[in-house]
Chains A and B, each alone.
Chain A
Amino acid sequence: MSMLTFEEKNFKEEVLKAEGKVLVDFYADWCGPCRMMSPVIDDIAKELDGKVKVGKVNVDNNQELAIKYDVMSIPTIMVFEKGNPIKTFVGVTDKQEILDVLK
C-alpha cells in the first residue's frame, strides 16, 4: 500500500472515514523544506505499512483542503483519527516525533 495520494475527491473516503490513524503530508513541489520532509514521510509509510495509512496532499491542486484545515505553512503534517485532526506538525519535523503520535 505504502504512499497514497489524497485529494479533495477522495479525502472523505480515504482519510476521514478510515479506520485507525491517518498521516497526511500537505506539501507543494516548489517548497524546499517539503523536499526534505518527503523521504521521512516515505520512510514512515514503509515502516508502518499495513498499520497506518500515509498519504500526501498537494496544496497547489487541493487548495480547498488546505483552507479547510487551516494549513498556512508547508510542510504541515497532520494525524487524523475518526475524521478529525488530532495532531499537527508545522515545518520539517523529526521522524521520531511523528512516530510517537502514530503508535
Chain B
Amino acid sequence: MYDVIIIGAGPAGISAGLYTKRANLKVLILYKDQSALEKTEWIENYYGFENGISGKELYKTGIRQAKNLGIDVKKEEVTNIQFDEKNQYVVMTEKESYKTKTVIFATGNKKNTPKIKGIKEFEGKGVSYCAVCDGFFYRNKDVSILGNGKYAISEANELINIANSITILTDGKEAPEIRADNVKIDTRKIREVRGDKKVEEVEFDDNSTTKTDGIFVALGVAGGNEFAKKLGIITKKDRIVVNENMETNIPGIYACGDCVGGLLQISKSVYEGTKAGLQAIQYIRKENA
C-alpha cells in the first residue's frame, strides 16, 4: 500500500514526489510518455541555470533526484484507476496493480481527442471515453474501440464479456496484439463518424463504411483527462479542475502542472507539484490520526 501514487515524472510530478517522500510517506511515481520538458530543446528562463540547460537533461536529473531520495520510480503505463474500499484507489499498469491512499495527476498537456469528424458531436451519443462506465449501455451490441495501444486493449478487455463484438479501429496505425474470439482489428484510416441521433457507422478513407453501435475512444497513453472521466473528476475543456490547493472534487485526488491548464512553465509546475504534495501529506496525516 502506497500513501501517494504520482502519475507523471515531469517537474510537477517530481516536485510532488520530493515533498511527500521527505515527509516520510511511501511514494510511487509512474510514468510512460515523454514529458513536454524532455522535448524542450533548451531552457533559458528557469531560475538558477546561468547558462541554460537542455530540457532532456533537466528531466533526467529530476528523475534521478527522486530515485536518489528513495522514491520508487517506475516506467510503467497506467491503464486504469479504480476506487477500492472507502478512500482508497487501485492504480493498474500494464504490469501490476498498486493500492494507494492518494493519487496525484501530473500527466502533462496531452490531448487524446481524435481529430475525426463526428467524434466530438456524438460524445454521450455513442462516443464514450470510459468502457467501465458506459459498457452497460452496449450489452450484446457491436462496439468499436479507437486506439492501438495498451490502453485500447485494457478498454477492450472491459467490454469483452458485455458487447456482442468488438472492433479495434487503429485509424491507420499499427495493429495491437490482442487475441479474443469476438475482437476484430481494422487498421484503415477513418474519415468520419456518422449517425442520425447517435453513432451508426464509421466511414473510412477508402469510401467503405462499417456499422457500429458505439465508439470507445482510447488513443495513445491515457492521461489525466481520461482517468478523470472514469473517476468522476470534474474537467473543463479537457483540463482537470482543481482549487488553489490542487484538490480535485474527489478527496485524496490531486492534479498539478500542465494537466490543469494555465501557464505551461516549469516554475508553475514546480509550485503546483509542491502544493499538491503538501496537501496530500496533510490529507494522509488526517486519515492516520
- Interfacial residues, chain A to chain B (CB-CB below 8 A): 28, 30-37, 59-60, 66, 70-76, 88, 90-94
- Interfacial residues, chain B to chain A (CB-CB below 8 A): 82-83, 123-126, 128, 130, 132-134, 136-138, 197-198, 214, 229-236, 241, 249-250
Contact between chains at A36 and B250 (CB < 8 Å): yes
Contact between chains at B125 and A72 (CB < 8 Å): yes
Give the contacting residue for A33; candidates B197, B198, B230, B236; CB below 8 A. Answer: B230
Contact between chains at B124 and A88 (CB < 8 Å): yes
Q: Which residues of B contact A60 (CB under 8 A)?
A: 136
Q: Which residues of A contact B130 (CB under 8 A)?
A: 33, 73
Contact between chains at B136 and A70 (CB < 8 Å): no
Given contacts A59-B136, A72-B124, contact A94 B198 (CB under 8 A): no
Contact between chains at A73 and B249 (CB < 8 Å): no
Give CA–CA (A70, B123) in the complex, Å: 12
Q: How would you classify the secondary structure of chain A's contact residues: helix, strand, loop or mixed?
A: loop
Give CA–CA (A93, B231) in the complex, Å: 13
Contact between chains at A32 and B134 (CB < 8 Å): no
Contact between chains at A70 and B125 (CB < 8 Å): yes
Q: Which residues of B contact A74 (CB under 8 A)?
A: 133-134, 136
Please report the number of residue pairs spanning A and B whose Cβ atoms sit closer than 8 angstroms: 67
Q: Which 4 A-B pairs have the closest CB atoms?
A: A36-B232, A90-B124, A33-B232, A92-B232
Residue of B nearest to A88 (CB): B124
Contact between chains at A90 and B123 (CB < 8 Å): yes
Given contacts A70-B198, A73-B137, contact A34 B232 (CB under 8 A): yes
Name the distance in Å between A21's Cβ and chain B's nearest Cβ. 20
Q: Which residues of B contact A31 (CB under 8 A)?
A: 133
* 15 extra A-B contacts, CB within 8 A, seeds A36-B231, A70-B125: A32-B231, A35-B83, A36-B233, A36-B249, A59-B136, A72-B137, A72-B214, A73-B124, A75-B232, A90-B124, A91-B124, A92-B232, A92-B235, A92-B249, A93-B234
Residue of B nearest to A92 (CB): B232
Give CA–CA (A75, B230) in the complex, Å: 11
Contact between chains at A94 and B125 (CB < 8 Å): no
Name the distance in Å between A35's Cβ and chain B's nearest Cβ. 7
Q: Which residues of A contact B134 (CB under 8 A)?
A: 72-74
Residue of A nearest to B241 (CB): A94
Tell which of A31, A37, A74, A92 has the most Cβ of chain B within 10 Å.
A92
23 intermolecular pairs with C-beta atoms under 8 Å apart: A30-B136, A32-B133, A32-B231, A32-B232, A33-B133, A33-B229, A33-B232, A36-B232, A36-B250, A70-B197, A72-B138, A72-B198, A72-B214, A73-B128, A73-B133, A74-B133, A74-B134, A76-B124, A91-B229, A92-B229, A92-B232, A92-B235, A94-B234
Name the distance in Å between A86's Cβ and chain B's nearest Cβ. 16
Contact between chains at A72 and B232 (CB < 8 Å): no
Give CA–CA (A35, B83) in the complex, Å: 11
